[in-house]
């Protein structure tokens, strides 16, 4: 089937402008979609939209199913009569070009808790019924997640492995008592998830009306301190204390002499196969409800993954383990039909992983900053080396901005960020995607993430 060539913008929700400290799913997001359409763009790619924890990374989410309540639009809450303008009249001013997560989280959650307290009094009959239907439909993940978040709040955010044994090990009687004790907090979590869901659906519908395809991210692994692992410990390699026995990462290479030790718990694929990949099926269904296309991070892990003993401080003493990716993808394809996925295949990729990608027809990705090397400076010469069946980026959220990259690597000459954008669009790739920072010709200070840096990431925002 002939693929229509298209291009689009990479911009996370947090980076949208607005007066309340962080990007939201409200009027500014709608305006951004309108401008994308006016620019002739057909794609908007975002990062994972789950609730974040320490470090604020969207790739270390507290849940694979939940949405981040920090994205809930205050303006839409006022419009829907769930919040009074006077409630946010004294909301503090935050830096317009940077997300100040610490104080911001405190202030925004205080407003959202106020909304939850008056929800059933102020919500229309339609919204109350919508909330009930949402809780019933999403119960398969929402019940555990709401309890998890209520308990995490009661423990001042500490990881679940530091809770009492009855809570950490999910003793039925202990959990029953906890549900009664934290009933209000649990209800608040559910209301916030309903509000996120409603506003996301509104934004997604607006994207469709403007013929903008949304691309989301699906990290291969999940965080240990998450509702996913707490409520499904049998799906992961954990010891008797529920700590990982092995963790994920990548082996030493030209980027790092000690490799990368991510620390994520690894799947017990034998158990997943016995359950006919039920958790994965549920996860994918939820993800595809939100976006049109999924970018699968670390696709190689479906074929084989680097297993590191949890007691090792680096990734050196690991080994490659085969994964049942073909069985999983066949199951998902049977469930959902042709899978709208993009395979993130950066780094050293094996023939087996490439064969798996080809078997299921997933386009891979190319990144201009990785293609242009010291030995081959010509981007024009690279144009014909990029196949049609791929998605090409000038850079990703992990790369420097084009202007910053040029400056650091001496690629000043006569080229501009727009020249590189043009080079990318002149390749045969069926989709071209550019971080908004490149369109705006911004330097390294606008970079989204510095891999390996523990603080100061994920903060950049733009202003109109």
- Burial class for 381, CB neighbours closer than 10 Å (0-12, 13-18, 19+): exposed
Category of 343 on φ-ψ map: left (φ > 0), alpha (ψ -120 to 50) or beta: beta
Instruction: Report how far Cα 258 is from the mean position of its chain's Cα atoms.
Output: 26
pLDDT for the residue 453: 80
Q: Is the dihedral of CA 218, 220, 222, 223 positive or negative?
A: negative
Q: Which two tokens stand for residue 182?
A: 């934290």
Parallel, antiparallel or unpaired: strands 364-367 and 390-393: parallel
Give the mean model confidence (pLDDT) for residues 41-57. Answer: 96
CB 423 within 8 A of CB 380: yes
434: β partners = 9
pLDDT for the residue 254: 65
CB 66 within 8 A of CB 104: no
CA separation for the pair 365, 424 (Å, rounded): 12
**Candidate from 9-13, 114-118, 282-286, 422-426 with smallest mean pLDDT:** 422-426
- Burial class for 135, CB neighbours closer than 10 Å (0-12, 13-18, 19+): middle
CB-CB neighbours of 158 under 10 Å: 12
Assess whether pLDDT exceeds 80 at residue 16.
Answer: yes
Assess whether pLDDT exceeds 70 at residue 414.
Answer: no
pLDDT for the residue 260: 86
Name the one residue in this structure whose structure tokens are 């709208």: 340
CB 119 within 8 A of CB 82: yes
CA angle 429, 432, 436 (to 5 degrees): 165
Assess whether pLDDT exceeds 90 at residue 61.
Answer: yes
User: What phi and psi, each to the nearest 5 degrees, are found at residue 14?
Assistant: -60, -25
CB 397 within 8 A of CB 12: yes
Render pLDDT for 253-299 as a digit per residue (tens, 0 to 9): 766 789 889 999 999 999 999 999 999 999 999 999 999 999 999 99
CB 185 within 8 A of CB 150: yes
Assess whether pLDDT exceeds 70 at residue 86.
Answer: yes
pLDDT level of residue 372 (50, 70, 90 thresholds) = confident
CA separation for the pair 390, 220 (Å, rounded): 20
Assess whether pLDDT exceeds 50 at residue 1.
Answer: no
Element (DSSP H or E) covering residue 432: strand 431-435
DSSP 256-314: -TT-EEEEEEPB-HHHHHHTTTHHHHHHHHHHHHH-SEEEETTGGGGTEEEEEETT-SS
The rounded percent of the chain whose pLDDT value lies above 70 is: 96
Render pLDDT for 160-186 as a digit per residue (tens, 0 to 9): 999 999 999 999 999 999 999 999 999
pLDDT for the residue 54: 86
Give the mean model confidence (pLDDT) for residues 47-51. Answer: 98
Render pLDDT for 184-209 as a digit per residue (tens, 0 to 9): 999 999 999 999 999 999 999 999 99
Q: Is the dihedral of CA 381, 382, 384, 385 positive or negative?
A: positive
pLDDT level of residue 376 (50, 70, 90 thresholds) = low
CB-CB neighbours of 136 under 10 Å: 9
Threshold 0.75, pTM exceeds: yes
CA separation for the pair 223, 262 (Å, rounded): 10
Q: Average pLDDT, whole number, for the chain?
A: 94
CA separation for the pair 382, 11 (Å, rounded): 26
pLDDT for the residue 451: 83
pLDDT for the residue 385: 77
Element (DSSP H or E) covering residue 196: helix 183-209
């Amino acid at each position: 089937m002939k693929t229509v060539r298209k291009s689009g913008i990479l911009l996370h929700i947090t980076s949208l402008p607005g007066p309340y400290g962080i990007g939201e799913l409200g009027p500014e997001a709608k305006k951004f979609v309108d401008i994308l359409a006016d620019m002739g763009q057909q794609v908007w790619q975002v990062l994972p939209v789950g609730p974040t924890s320490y470090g604020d990374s969207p790739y270390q989410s507290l849940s694979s199913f939940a949405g981040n309540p920090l994205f809930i639009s205050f303006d839409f809450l006022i419009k829907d009569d769930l919040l009074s303008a006077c409630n946010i009249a004294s909301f503090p001013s935050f830096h317009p070009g940077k997300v100040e997560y610490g104080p911001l989280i405190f202030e925004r959650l205080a407003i959202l808790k106020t909304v939850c307290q008056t929800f059933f009094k102020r919500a229309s009959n339609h919204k109350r019924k919508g909330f009930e239907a949402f809780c019933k439909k999403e119960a398969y993940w929402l019940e555990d997640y709401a309890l998890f978040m209520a308990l995490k709040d009661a423990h001042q955010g500490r990881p679940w492995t530091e809770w009492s044994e009855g809570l950490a090990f999910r003793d039925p009687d202990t959990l029953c008592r906890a549900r009664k004790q934290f009933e209000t907090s649990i209800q608040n979590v559910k209301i916030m998830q309903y509000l996120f869901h409603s506003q996301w659906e509104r934004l997604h519908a607006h994207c469709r009306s403007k013929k903008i395809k949304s691309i989301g991210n699906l990290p291969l692994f999940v965080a240990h301190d998450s509702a996913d692992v707490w409520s499904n410990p049998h799906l992961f390699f954990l010891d008797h204390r529920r700590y990982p026995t092995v963790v994920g990462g990548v082996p030493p290479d030209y980027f790092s002499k000690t490799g990368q030790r991510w620390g994520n718990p690894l799947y017990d694929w034998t158990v997943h196969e016995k359950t006919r990949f039920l958790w994965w099926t549920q996860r994918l269904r939820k993800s595809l409800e939100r976006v049109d296309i999924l970018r699968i991070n670390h696709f190689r892990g479906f074929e084989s993954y680097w297993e590191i003993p949890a007691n090792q401080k680096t990734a050196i003493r690991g080994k490659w383990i085969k994964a049942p990716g073909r069985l999983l993808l066949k199951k998902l394809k049977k469930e959902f039909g042709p899978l709208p996925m993009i395979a993130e295949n950066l780094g050293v990729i094996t023939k087996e992983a490439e064969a798996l990608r080809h078997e299921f027809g997933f386009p891979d990705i190319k990144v201009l900053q990785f293609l242009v090397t010291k030995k081959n400076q010509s981007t024009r010469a690279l144009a014909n080396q990029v196949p049609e069946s791929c998605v090409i980026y000038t850079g990703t959220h992990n790369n420097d901005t084009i202007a910053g990259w040029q400056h650091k690597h001496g690629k000043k000459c006569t080229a501009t960020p727009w020249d590189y954008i043009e080079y990318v669009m002149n390749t045969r790739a069926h989709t071209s995607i550019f971080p908004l920072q490149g369109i705006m010709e911004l330097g390294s200070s606008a970079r989204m993430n510095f891999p390996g840096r523990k603080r100061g990431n994920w903060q950049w925002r733009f202003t109109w």
